[in-house]
Amino acid sequence: MLFNTSEFFVFLAIVLAVFYASPKALRRVILLVASYVFYLSWNYKFVILLLGLTVVDYGAAIAIERASAARKKPFLLISLAANLGMLGFFKYYNFFADNLAQLLRFPPHSWTFSIILPLGISFHTFQSISYVVDVYRGEQKAIRNPIDYALFISFFPQLVAGPIVRAEEFFADLFSWKHPSQEEVLRGVLLVTLGLTKKIVFADQFAQISDSYFQHLADHPGGFAAWSGVLSFAMQIFFDFSGYTDMAIGMALLLGFHFPVNFRRPYLAFSITDFWHRWHISLSRWLRDYLYIPLGGNRHGRWMTYRNLMLTMLLGGLWHGASWNFVIWGGYHGGLLSIERIMGRREFEKKPPLWLYPLRALITFGLVCIGWVFFRAATFADSRYVITQLFHGGKQFQALLPRWMVYMTGVSLLIAIIEEKFEWTERLSRGSAWAYAAFMILLLLTIELIGVTEKALPFVYFQF
Amino acid sequence: MRALFTLILTVSGFWAVEFAIFHTGAYSLILRHDSSTGSVETYVRNELKRNRGTARQVLTIGDSRTGFLPRYANDLQTGYQFASIALGGSTPRDWYYMLRGVDPKADRYSAIVIAMNDFEDSEILEDYSVRATDLYYVIGRLKYSDIPYFAKSYQHDPKLEWAAARGIVLKGLIYKRDFQDFLLHPADRIAMAQLARKDSYLWYYNYVGTNSSMEGVEVDWPNRTVTVPVGFTQAQKTAYEYQFLAPRLEYTGVRTAYLHQWLGKIYEHYRVSKTRLIFLHLPRGPFVRPDQPAFNPHSSIRELAHQPGVILLPERLFESIEQPSLFVDQMHMNGPGSAQFSRTLAKEVSHRLDAL
């Protein structure tokens, strides 16, 4: 059940209706049942996995809290082993088995299995790990009510692709649940609509161009085609993922939960450091708190900082998918972050003067786009080919982007700049009803007329 | 309450804008005139705008095989003025909504001539009851009140049934391909749409068809082979082989049920009017297959023929046209074929109507 289908909206309407019509005591159960129904609609077999990990982590956290300081660690290790073991097996087993086979000169696929990746495993395992580690660190109390904990792991708006919510944020909302305010209701509806617009109007339209380019590279020689394809993918992935996130945040808001912001106009970043403060913020935050800082962060000198940055980004890349291309993508960003550190951290965290901002943003965007090539291309050879085309593709003019999509890009850039300056979508739900309605009507008409509605295309991050 | 008010305002505002653009005909100002929706709208609009004079009116409807060119019919000065809204790719379901569009009160025509491939309800490969493109053809003609009947007509495919209902409510979903095409070259489109509104009636009225023919093509029925002269492509030969040699589909009644529904709907529209419904059997093709469909006394058309005001023209009226020199391909008449067909039809229809 994809967020961009009518079935999902029927499901959401039923959940909202039943949730608010029920007594407060039953609401958590209703949300839990709804979340499992949502997960069941994808693949009923993996519910057992989700349930199993929930039981292990629920038990491990209580055991950690009860145990003396010296005896906490084994429970933490059990939880980590369960989560990383499952993630490792389902997501990375074939990758490592294949590489090992190649290394030992065995025929390819000698030791691989046909493994289906359970939906959302990368997200819910990270969320579980953060919870258990927080309990281990004494920063979070172990949750006693299994329904509460199960809901934290399976809450349907963010189950399959985040944002990765920290336990303290989720349980603060759950334990002192308040009916969403009028403003929150409006903001929730706006975010769901905006997210849907981003997905089916922008992401899915750009996907047609980027898919056509990356799936048939030989048919589209030349630099113009390469830039069209890469720019389209840059647009697709941003609108796809931030659209999903907006919908998730909006739905959570309608149910009285407050999710953290996951994107803050990342293509307006003036450095790669700034980019990672704006892109998939909940993952960056997770990697920082549960990987980079435990590795030592920047506490042990420059070289260790660079090493930690590289390791964090390499693993962050690998988290996205079991392929060397993702590792390269992570390493590329780790390298750029390290270079920025070498050149002076403050310089890349401080907003540049207005006259320099556009140039810095353009350079950053260009660097990010080059990174996307590794993210999107099917193989390393394809990535290398596209990079070569970007810079040495000759002057063959084959621009794949139709003019109206270039305008769409321009309009979205303009909206992003205005949003950066005035945060007007934030204000919209507080301001005049007429302005809100006018904007919503515009979104709905755009969905109706430009949205790809013939076929519901899955969200890119669902595969992770 | 503020949230409720704002959301009601949003929904009603969206409905109002959607209605204003797509349910009032405003969008047709930029609609591509030769798209499926655009063709229906152009034909209907031209027919509504047509200068009628005092002569009694006869309107022909059918699909691309119809080949009726009204100018040849009108040149005969039969006392009737002929017009046509026959449209390639249209189906009896579309014909009903097109006829309702040009003749909402069922009082404008002396006769409606409906061109049929045969009177036996022979099965065809495609099941027209679930033809998705019909929604695109007639979306401009559909109203909210059509939702139950039109959507229900897709009952064999629940997805299409839902798409039809949703499409009538949110017409923009159906117009979106056209709109996205408009975005590619908006200025050119507006200019073309304006030109089509002004002149397209004459484009169609003055069309005389092509002189190309199938002369030289031969079908050897005993040996089941088709021979084409130099200049014909393999694709053409394959198409001929399929049309003339492929086994006929077994009669299942699917086509009868479909035609019964939609020809019946057209009949209902004219049932209490003075307009006659005249069914004609189109020329069978440049070659007449020896395995003609068996006589079906219970076909939809023969059953309709028992109703008052319904006339069946002789099935072999156009037999003389069934020759390669008068066809451009395996199904369609060429210019001379269409001219002969139009004159023959005009004479026969006027005789029939005069005799009443």
Q: pLDDT category, A269, cuts 50, 70, 90? A: very high
| The pLDDT of residue B352 is above 80 | yes
Question: What pLDDT, on the 0 to 100 scale, is given for residue A398?
Answer: 64
Overall average pLDDT of the A428-434 stretch: 88
Distance CA B71, CA B39 (A): 20
Question: What pLDDT, on the 0 to 100 scale, is given for residue A222?
Answer: 84
Q: Which domain holds residue A40?
A: 6-177
Question: What pLDDT, on the 0 to 100 scale, is given for residue A426?
Answer: 77
User: Does one domain contain both A163 and A189?
Assistant: no
Helices (H) then strands (E): counts for chain B: 13, 7
Pairing status of strand B56-61 against strand B80-84: parallel
Q: Average per-residue pLDDT in chain B?
A: 93
Q: pLDDT category, A336, cuts 50, 70, 90? A: very high
User: Does one domain contain both A199 and A148?
Assistant: no
Q: Establish if A107 belongs to a structural domain.
A: yes
Q: Establish if A309 belongs to a structural domain.
A: no
B172:A445 CB<8 A: yes
Question: What pLDDT, on the 0 to 100 scale, is given for residue A2?
Answer: 80
Select from A402, A433, A445 the Cβ nearest to the Cβ of B5: A433
Question: What pLDDT, on the 0 to 100 scale, is given for residue A160?
Answer: 80
B7:A445 CB<8 A: no
Question: What pLDDT, on the 0 to 100 scale, is given for residue A395?
Answer: 67
Q: Establish if A89 belongs to a structural domain.
A: yes
Least confident of A191-195, A344-348, A388-392, B80-84: A344-348
Helices of type H across B82-171: 92-102, 133-138, 152, 158-169
Question: What pLDDT, on the 0 to 100 scale, is given for residue B309?
Answer: 92
Taking Cα atoms as reference points, which of A15, A447, A436, A418 lies closest to residue A186? A436
- Looking at the complex, report in whole angstroms how far the Cα of residue B88 sits from the nearest Cα belonging to chain A: 24
User: Does one domain contain both A266 and A396?
Assistant: yes
User: Does one domain contain both A97 and A78?
Assistant: yes
Q: pLDDT category, A396, cuts 50, 70, 90? A: low
Strand-pair partners of B310: B277
Q: Establish if A217 belongs to a structural domain.
A: yes
User: Does one domain contain both A187 and A172?
Assistant: no
Question: What pLDDT, on the 0 to 100 scale, is given for residue A419?
Answer: 80
B3:A445 CB<8 A: no
Instruction: Tell me the domains of chain B and their CATH numbers.
Output: 31-355 (3.40.50.1110)
User: Does one domain contain both A76 and A203?
Assistant: no
pLDDT tens readout for residues A74-83: 999 999 999 9
Q: Establish if A326 belongs to a structural domain.
A: no
Q: Establish if A331 belongs to a structural domain.
A: no
Taking Cα atoms as reference points, which of B18, B165, B19, B175 lies closest to residue A445? B18
| Catalytic site includes residue A320 | yes
pLDDT tens readout for residues B191-221: 999 999 989 888 999 999 999 999 999 999 9
| The pLDDT of residue A347 is above 90 | no
Q: Which is catalytic among the residues A300, A320, A333, A392? A: A320
Chain B nearest-CA residue for A186:
B3
% of residues, chain B, pLDDT over 90: 85
Query: Does B30 touch chain A if contact means CB atoms closer than 8 Å?
Result: no
User: Does one domain contain both A40 and A145?
Assistant: yes
User: Does one domain contain both A230 and A118?
Assistant: no
A404:B180 CB<8 A: yes
Question: What pLDDT, on the 0 to 100 scale, is given for residue A194?
Answer: 92
Question: What pLDDT, on the 0 to 100 scale, is given for residue A96?
Answer: 83
| The pLDDT of residue A383 is above 70 | yes
Question: What pLDDT, on the 0 to 100 scale, is given for residue A298?
Answer: 80
| The pLDDT of residue A1 is above 80 | no
| The pLDDT of residue A98 is above 90 | no
pLDDT tens readout for residues B286-309: 999 999 898 999 999 999 999 999
pTM: predicted TM-score of the whole model, two decimal places: 0.85
Residue A322 or A268, more confident:
A268
| The pLDDT of residue A454 is above 80 | no
User: Does one domain contain both A167 and A237?
Assistant: no
B318: which 2 tokens?
């156009």
- Looking at the complex, report in whole angstroms how far the Cα of residue A439 sits from the nearest Cα belonging to chain B: 9
Q: Establish if A300 belongs to a structural domain.
A: no
Which positions in chain A touch B18 (Cβ < 8 Å)?
Answer: 445, 448
Distance CA A275, CA A290 (A): 20
Burial A357-391 (b: 16+ CB within 10 A, else e): eeebbeebbebbbbbbbbbbbeeeebbebbbebbe
ipTM: 0.82
User: Does one domain contain both A238 and A367?
Assistant: yes
Select from A183, A441, A453 the Cβ nearest to the Cβ of B13: A441
| The pLDDT of residue A463 is above 70 | no
Q: What is the dihedral of CA B179, A6, B149, B255, to 10 degrees?
A: 90
Q: Average per-residue pLDDT in chain A?
A: 88
User: Does one domain contain both A74 and A207?
Assistant: no
Chain A nearest-CA residue for B19:
A445
CB B110 within 8 A of CB B57: yes
| The pLDDT of residue A397 is above 70 | no
Q: pLDDT category, A393, cuts 50, 70, 90? A: low
| Main-chain phi, psi angles of B61, to 5 degrees | -140, 150
- Which residue among A177, A200, A226 closes a domain? A177
State how many domains chain A has.
2
B124: which 2 tokens?
């065809």
% of residues, chain A, pLDDT over 90: 49
- Which residue among A147, A177, A207 closes a domain? A177
Query: Does B7 touch chain A if contact means CB atoms closer than 8 Å?
Result: yes
User: Does one domain contain both A228 and A102?
Assistant: no
Question: What pLDDT, on the 0 to 100 scale, is given for residue B73?
Answer: 95
Query: Does B6 touch chain A if contact means CB atoms closer than 8 Å?
Result: yes
Q: Establish if A436 belongs to a structural domain.
A: yes
A185:B3 CB<8 A: yes
| The pLDDT of residue A434 is above 80 | yes
- Which residue among A116, A151, A177 closes a domain? A177
Those residues with Cβ within 8 angstroms of residue A121's Cβ, 6 or more apart along the chain or in another chain: A46, A49, A86, A87, A90, A91
% of residues, chain B, pLDDT over 70: 100
Chain B nearest-CA residue for A429:
B3
Distance CA B68, CA B317 (A): 14
Rg (CA), chain A: 23
Overall average pLDDT of the A179-203 stretch: 93
Least confident of A144-153, A396-405, A441-450, B260-269: A396-405
